[in-house]
Structure 1
């Protein structure tokens, strides 16, 4: 399973934007589609909110990619 560490520059990042920023999709809209298709989990729970706020310490899974969010 690929592991990506993402460092926040603010208080939070929206999940669709996070997926774009780490290179899992080309746009925030494509990130929203990944969420809508049920392919995204946050802290092991299925995420259905396309613009959920992801904060430091959370782990996002998209397919077999694990994204660990760190404080900036």
Structure 2
């Protein structure tokens, strides 16, 4: 049998690292815009602050915010 939980954990770490690299490569102006969009989506879609989001909700918001920066 495959060790599912450790594999899922590893995928989560890799996904988090990719998100940090993407965010780190943004200019300060783009980071400010991404932060504003994240806060707005969290409030509008889920009625929560960013810190209160579940992993699934945070992933959904990340995908929505990232679409604003696709060239």
TM-score, length-scaled by structure 2: 0.30
Relative to its length, the structure with more strand (as a share) is 1
TM-score, length-scaled by structure 1: 0.30
Relative to its length, the structure with more helix (as a share) is 2
